[in-house]
Amino acid sequence: MSERSPRQGRDAGVDEILEGRREPGPVARKLPGPVAWFDIRGRSTGHLAFSLNRITGLGLVFYLYLHLLVLSTLLRGEGSWNGFLEIATTPLFLGFDVLLVFGLLVHGLNGTRLALVGSGFVPNRQKALFWSFMIFGAIVLVYTAIHVFGSEG
Amino acid sequence: MATGPAIATGSPRSRSWRWTAITGVSLLALVTIHMVAHHFVVDEIGGLRTYQHVLDYISTPIIFVIEGGFLVVVTIHAMLGLRSVLFDFGLSERRRRLVERALVVLGVATVAYGFALIGILASRA
């Protein structure tokens, strides 16, 4: 195995982070692995995409269990569910809905980019693909926000 | 992009990477169906269904199958993602095996609870 190739079992972007830590410069790069995701100073678009994917992914895992917890209120009957709906239809919670869609779009579209590149499709267009998907995602997010908040009136 | 494809995308030969990609692509369709069916075809505020709407919706056989499939695929994808995140901490081989076993248990428990939940709700319709 060559020195630059990723180690077996290690995922996208980790080698870039480890390589970055060895470089001299003003940016602190000695922190443990996942903490480095948040340090995007002076990094490439690839690192930004990797960090966004990990952070939105963790957020979505948290939401998966929150969603199961919320749906469990249905087991306690109509009264409990109506109580939840009263809270869930406030502007604050509708804002959380839009935040959820933001996470889904970033993670889904960036994941699509990774799958396309990793499978050998468009290997030399990663940066263009990333920004194209993010612009598309922004348009869908604006539409969703209008739909979610528009339903309030 | 500044980095080479191998660094930016991970090893396509990796089994976990392949399954993450397969479940991820499946989720694109399943999440879209889930979000549209739940939040874009309902007139209520925020597209949230009433209690009776939820029961009627989940008791429809095709919806039950789609939502069950969604639960399984999203859980596999989530557990593979958590595995990647935890492996970023540079764990020893022994700890990696422990993490993998714990995630299998968590994943199975999540799917079991989810199926019990939608099964009970479907039976109440």
Task: Calculate the CA A59 to chain-centre distance.
Answer: 7
The reply to whether B3 touches chain A by the CB within 8 Å rule is yes
- Please report the pLDDT score of residue A75 as a whole number: 92
- A138 min Cα distance to partner chain B (Å): 16
The 3-class SS string of chain A reads CCCCCCCCCCCCCHHHHHHHHHCCCCCCCCCCHHHHHHCCCCCCHHHHHHHHHHHHHHHHHHHHHHHHHHHHHHHHCHHHHHHHHHHHCCHHHHHHHHHHHHHHHHHHHHHHHHHHHHCCCCCCCHHHHHHHHHHHHHHHHHHHHHHHHHCCC
Q: Is residue B33 part of a domain?
A: yes
Residue B19, both tokens: 């399954």
Which of A11, A90, A92, A105 to probe by mutation at the B interface, max B CB count within 10 Å?
A: A11
Domain interval for residue B40: 13-124
Closest Cβ–Cβ partner in B10, B27, B43 for A6: B10
The reply to whether B41 touches chain A by the CB within 8 Å rule is no
The architecture in CATH of the region A49-150 reads Up-down Bundle (1.20)
Nearest to B77 by CA among B116, B30, B12: B30
Give me the sign of the Cα torsion angle A91, A95, A97, A101.
positive
Q: Do A4 and B85 touch (CB under 8 A)?
A: no
- The CA dihedral of B15, B19, A127, A145, to the nearest 10 degrees, is -160
Q: Is residue B4 part of a domain?
A: no
Q: Is residue B37 part of a domain?
A: yes
> In whole angstroms, what is the distance from residue A91 CA to residue A68 CA?
22
- Please report the pLDDT score of residue A28 as a whole number: 45
Q: Which residues of chain B have pLDDT under 50?
A: 1-10, 12-13
- A11 min Cα distance to partner chain B (Å): 5
Q: Is residue B6 part of a domain?
A: no
Nearest to A101 by CA among B32, B94, B14: B32
> In whole angstroms, what is the distance from residue A122 CA to residue A59 CA?
28
- CA angle, A25 then A30 then A33, to 5°: 125
- Crossing angle of helices B15-35 and A91-118, rounded to 10°: 140
- Please report the pLDDT score of residue B23 as a whole number: 94
Q: Parse chain A into domains and list their residue ranges.
A: 49-150
Coil vs helix vs strand at B52 = helix
* ipTM of the complex, rounded to two decimals: 0.83
Task: Calculate the CA A13 to chain-centre distance.
Answer: 14
- Please report the pLDDT score of residue B56 as a whole number: 87
> In whole angstroms, what is the distance from residue B66 CA to residue B75 CA?
14
User: What does each of the 153 residues of chain A score in pLDDT, given as a tens digit?
Assistant: 444 444 555 555 666 666 665 655 444 444 556 666 666 666 678 778 888 898 999 999 999 999 999 999 999 999 999 888 888 888 898 899 899 999 999 999 999 988 888 778 877 788 888 999 999 999 999 998 998 887 655
Q: Is A9 in contact with B11 (CB distance < 8 Å)?
A: no
- Please report the pLDDT score of residue A5 as a whole number: 47
The reply to whether B45 touches chain A by the CB within 8 Å rule is yes
Count of domains for chain B: 1
- Please report the pLDDT score of residue B6 as a whole number: 39
CATH number of the domain enclosing B72: 1.20.1300.10
- A134 min Cα distance to partner chain B (Å): 15
